[in-house]
Amino acid sequence: MSYNRPPMPLPKDANPNRSTSGLFYPNEPIMPPRNEEPDSMISSLVLDTATPTIDAMNSINITNDMVQEAEYVTVNDLPINTSAPPAMFTRTGHEIPIPDGVERNGRPVATNKFYGNFLLGSQTCATWTHPYSVWISKDNAFPGFAANHVRASQRVFGDGNPAPFFFSPIGIRSFVFGANELPSFESMSLRFTDLSHMSIHVWLKKSESEHIRFPIVQGMGFITANYSNLTPRLQSAVGFRNLNSMASPRTDMQKYQVLLENDVKWTIYVKLDSKCNNFQLFIANGNTIQANQRVSSATIQVVADTVEAIDQAAGCYPVNCDVVNAVNKDKGIYRLAYKTEGYSNKGTTLLYGLRHHMVSMTIPTALTSINSELDSTVMGVMRGFITNTLEMQVQIPANVDFIPATTIPGRRVLYSHEVLEKVRDAARKEVNGDVINESNVNSMYFSGKVLAKYAWILFCCQYIVNDRGLVDILLPKLKEAFARFSQNQQQLPLRYDTTWGGVISSGTSGDDFGNSYYNDHHFHYSYHIIAAAILTKVDRDIGNGSWFTENREWVETLIRDYANPSENDPYFPMYRSFDWFTGHSWAKGLFESGDGKDEESSSEDVNSCYALKLWGMVSGNVALVNRSNVQLGILNTSLNQYFLYDDANKTEPPQFIGNKVSGILFENKIDHTTYFGNYLQYIQMIHAIPITPMSSFIRHPSYVEQEWIQKLQGIVNDVNDGWKGIMMLNLALFNPRASFEFFSSPNFSGNFLDNGQSLTWSLAYSGAFI
């Protein structure tokens, strides 16, 4: 069973209509097969993943049980490796070049980050920093750097209850930063510097001494323009109704309030150097605000609010952001530490935090909030903070490892003799499966699912039913199947891309879901990493442990590709997939997109971090374990607001949360569909696969029950392919007995299992909690 992902849709730049091209098939496609002590791993494991209620997102959740930071252990950001990728990966240049003007300093360039549109295609699609969108305007009526903020009232919803999609309009040029000396796009050149995983600097240049710099950082409160030796000009396609000079925060700064023709008020701050005398801005015409003189140096900042407290941050702006993590038992702290330039009365800048930040914010950060709220496009209302640091505390799944785990109150792992015999019976059949040939496919994704499926069967044989005979049947076959990939002998071998810096498929952009264009790497590679972690554990416990040594470099090359934690690794960008600001990963790679980056499978995002944790455990990499625990803690807060919708969700629009899942979440829209079809089981369960010990930490029992009652129980009896098995194992997250009874039924059909799901694991997981 297989499916082909259609080409990535490119939402129309100028027309904010729903982009459906490539999202639907005319007919139903074949179901996609998506999907440390030896002998004493069964333990009483009950997880408490209590998360602040969704209602708490309407206010900042200031916790009063904060531990002292001294009790936390900081997670180091040392590189996993700095050596060149193994020679088995043929070196190749990418067909998508890095555009002129990118100052990379010999370093890899991120492919899945929020600023990707600056580097791809026309370079005119928007970048979302939240709460703003910014883009390069090549329209010679409005040449320069465009900016906008969209309010919730401007969203467009599809017809239906619940609405099948919603989006914010794009291309509205509320402001376009330019200069008299840059009268057309042809009169300027583009430059991109300071590329990091949370920031990029965009330059419009007339010459080396005449330019405008825009430090673009996620969460920035001001849109900031640094002018050098130019005459500032601000334009608006919306139109300026009036411009009023206001009392300034300090003597070297001017403040203006501007009303646009759409009745939206913005505030403008101008920080001048000492050489500027009698400087002022004035309305030259309905679409242009003009400076009355050329400036040697000036900083112009705009903000989509008029709250007076913002004055205290004016003049200071972020230019970069570092991430600091620390853990303490079942708690994790992550800190977004912004580096700033300029200065303000308060000594810090203005930042806007998202909803998942606010529900887990520490007291020191919460106390810096001001009464300024701006809508984001798809992640709720944002709150303003005058600070250089956003610090959050999350619960982490410190006790979740390989063993089935649940968050169902009062349940713990306890296998009855009957359950163990059912697991053993299934394993006896499935260890004889042909993993070598089943995994011999032209897809890192589908092959990884097969390898992980058999690895979980192996785990059950060794640690749940304790049957060495079954282990001895499966282990050598699984090792042989894995060797095809670790020796790079698969149908589409991996290559090392010297252009962007990454390990990619040798297939075309249409093969393997666009792997060669950096789509979905964290999805694909996580299955291989989990299989490797289980193989390492079993081989170490019953053999000589040599398998780990022989395969470590290959596995860790995949980890470096999507989860390199260090800027000191010269071969891979930092955090290709995971976005520390939005709190989840982005799956879209080198494809220009009018609605920004996107992610379809929140559960495979979880799987990507879970894989890192398991590999960290078997490899002794404590930092990798701790970092992935923090990421999983963040995912628990972010996914349950933006992707998985409890009935009490107050983050997403009320007319949309009835869908219970996002479908595809873009930076500018949410579309309740999938890339491979519009059947309800596809849309809902792409956010459930694969069911692992980590699933219940994210997919809370109450939510899963709501989704089951409202979406799944009405269709499950009509589904007779692999999606049925996924739905029924998902049922175990709140009703394990019913799930186990389904899989243990004498009439159970193997047609209900996709090729990434085994009966052995389905019985072992559901049967653990009855």
Task: Please give the structure tokens belonging to residue 647.
Answer: 């009935």
Task: Please give the structure tokens belonging to residue 542.
Answer: 């019953």
Spatial strand order of the sheet with 381-386 comes to: 350-353, 381-386, 369-375
SS3 label, residue 220: strand
Task: Please give the structure tokens belonging to residue 437.
Answer: 């040939």
Query: Residue 77 class from Cβ within 10 Å (0-12 exposed, 13-18 middle, 19+ buried)?
Result: middle
Spatial strand order of the sheet with 253-260 comes to: 189-193, 199-205, 211-217, 223-228, 298-303, 265-272, 253-260, 240-246
Spatial strand order of the sheet with 175-179 comes to: 127-128, 133-137, 144-148, 175-179, 232-235, 288-291, 281-285
Burial string for 642-679 (b: 16+ CB within 10 Å, else e) reads bbbbbeebbbbbeebbebbbbbbbbbbbbbbbbbbbbb
Burial string for 362-375 (b: 16+ CB within 10 Å, else e) reads beebbebbbebebb
Active-site pick, 375, 579, 604, 652 = 604
- Residue closest to 352 by CA, chosen among 633, 581, 542: 581
Q: Name every residue whose Cβ is closer than 8 Å to that of residue 87 and which is 6 or more positions away in sequence.
A: none
User: What does the alpha-carbon distance between residue 757 and residue 688 come to, in Å, rounded to a whole number?
Assistant: 12
604 a catalytic residue? yes
User: What does the alpha-carbon distance between residue 306 and residue 270 come to, in Å, rounded to a whole number?
Assistant: 15
Q: Name every residue whose Cβ is closer than 8 Å to that of residue 585 and which is 6 or more positions away in sequence.
A: 112, 522, 577, 578, 579, 599, 605, 608
Active-site pick, 600, 652, 671, 721 = 600
First to last CA, the chain: 32
Active-site pick, 520, 569, 595, 754 = 520
Task: Please give the structure tokens belonging to residue 195.
Answer: 């590329």
**Contact 557/85 with Cβ under 8 angstroms?**
yes
Write the Ramachandran bin of 610: left for phi over 0, alpha for psi from -120 to 50, otherwise beta. Answer: alpha
Backbone angles phi, psi at 339, to 5 degrees: -90, 135
SS3 label, residue 513: helix
Burial string for 248-283 (b: 16+ CB within 10 Å, else e) reads ebeeebbbbebbbeeebebbbbbbbeeebeebebee
SS3 label, residue 439: coil
Distance from chain centroid for Cα 156 = 24
**Contact 355/375 with Cβ under 8 angstroms?**
no
520 a catalytic residue? yes
Residues recognised as catalytic: 520, 600, 604
